[in-house]
Amino acid sequence: MQTALVALLLLFKAYAQTNTALPDTSTLPTTATFTTSLPNLGGDLIPTGTSVSYLSLNSTKTLSSGSLSGETAILATTIAVANGTIVSVSGSSTTSSTSSRSVTILQGSHTISATINSNSTGNSTLSRTSTSAQPTNTQPCNNYPEFCSRKYSNITQVAAHNSPFVAPNNAAANQALGVIDQLNDGIRMLQGQTHYVNETMYYCHTSCDLLNVGTAENYFATITRWVRNHPYDVVTLLIGNGDLVKIDKYIAPLQSSGLTKYAYIPPKIPMAIDDWPTLSEMILTQKRVVIFMDYNADQNTVPYVLDEFSQMWETPFSPTNRSFPCTQERPPDLSKEDIEKRMYIANHNLNTELTLAGSSLLVVTVSLLNQTNNVSGFGSLGAMADECSGMCSIVLILQSLTST
């Protein structure tokens, strides 16, 4: 049985009153009808129409080394110490070190990580070709050294849905904490919707008139600063292409922010679940930011922005059903064989549907937050994880959380 990628998409809820009075969703059922005027909160509906398409790849393309732009500087071996101290090495030399704390050795070339136990002396041949930033974190491999030898496609990642949207007194905001706080709290996958306005890419929720939190370049630059200071962490970014624009509109903000320096470029298009490297290998090469885009990615043009739906699939989006069925919705008409070759996203954020003048509006069901986020019981995150665990790879979108 293939194991699963689990990314828990956490929605740190920050709803507040706007000039228009909103209904109190703490007492709402999962379906309700209102006659009062409501602003468009952005229900994150699936895009439809002739402009929406899903890639269908009948063959796998192997990229040549030249397509990687010579950006990968391989570290043969590096060391991270539990208390945050880096063992200094230079050139190619044999060193001996004694530590009162455990030491995790990250090894490349498809070898697994090794651990030197407390108060032991280890000997190894060390070499490196570049210098990493002084680490802020004290544990390698997303704070779990045991993950170092596991593939990216077999790691639980905590993520934030609509990560950038932090805005007090704006009903379209999803988050109570900014991206730095999210990452410091253990979030390792970041998702948000972009819109292209006046030749500039912004992070906006549904519409830039509703909620505009700034340029994509600024958001990417913030992520870059955190990644630079945490050289032993792997981060995933899922870009929502809200206007379905061409991929070339994203090149400038990604490059100007410095994020492409850390962007992972896969050796194949598409990547099957067993093709992914280990966290150790990604950290050693410092190519440890995986960038996905939901629509209009073109890996032949921009190889570091990966097409989501040729390498992942999703369960029903913006669900209102508390049973959270572990069934495939996007991309449509995917064969069982293809399902088993991919990672997937299990959407676990419960919404309430409001019907207004013949139109539907989805808002998060705050009243059931504790049950939806629970480890057990009907409608819980734990129950959905158990249901989906027998399948291939998984990404769980967790119900909204408030800051405390």
Sign of CA dihedral 148, 313, 390, 399: positive
H helix runs in 134-265, sequence order: 179-184, 216-229, 251-257
H helix runs in 211-332, sequence order: 216-229, 251-257, 279-285
Residue 172 DSSP code: T
The separation between CA 210 and the C-alpha centre of its own chain, rounded to angstroms, equals: 24
Question: What is the rounded distance in angstroms from the CA atom of residue 252 to the CA atom of residue 201?
Answer: 10
From the CA atom positions of the chain, what is the Rg in Å?
22
| Beta strand pairing call for 343-347 and 312-314 | parallel
Cα distances (angstroms) measured from residue 213 to each of 170, 173, 204, 249: 11, 10, 6, 18
205 in catalytic set? yes
Cα distances (angstroms) measured from residue 270 to each of 72, 241, 250, 265: 20, 19, 20, 11
Q: In this structure, are residues 401 and 12 in contact, taking their beta carbons and an 8 Å threshold?
A: yes
Q: In this structure, are residues 4 and 391 in contact, taking their beta carbons and an 8 Å threshold?
A: yes
110 in catalytic set? no
Residue spans of beta strands (DSSP E) within 82-205: 92-99, 103-107, 114-116, 120-127, 156-160, 187-197, 200-204
Residue type, 12: F
The separation between CA 207 and the C-alpha centre of its own chain, rounded to angstroms, equals: 22
The three-class DSSP label of residue 384 is helix
- Residue of 110, 195, 205, 230 with catalytic role: 205
Which distant-in-sequence residues (6+ apart) come within 8 Å of 131 by Cβ? none
Q: What angle do CA 359, 171, 373 make, to 5 degrees?
A: 90
Element (H, E) at 215: strand 212-215
Question: What is the rounded distance in angstroms from the CA atom of residue 271 to the CA atom of residue 290?
Answer: 12
- Residue of 161, 195, 230, 348 with catalytic role: 161
- φ, ψ dihedrals at 197, nearest 5°: -130, 125
> Measuring CA to CA, which residue among 183, 164, 174 is closest to residue 225?
183
Catalytically annotated residues: 161, 205
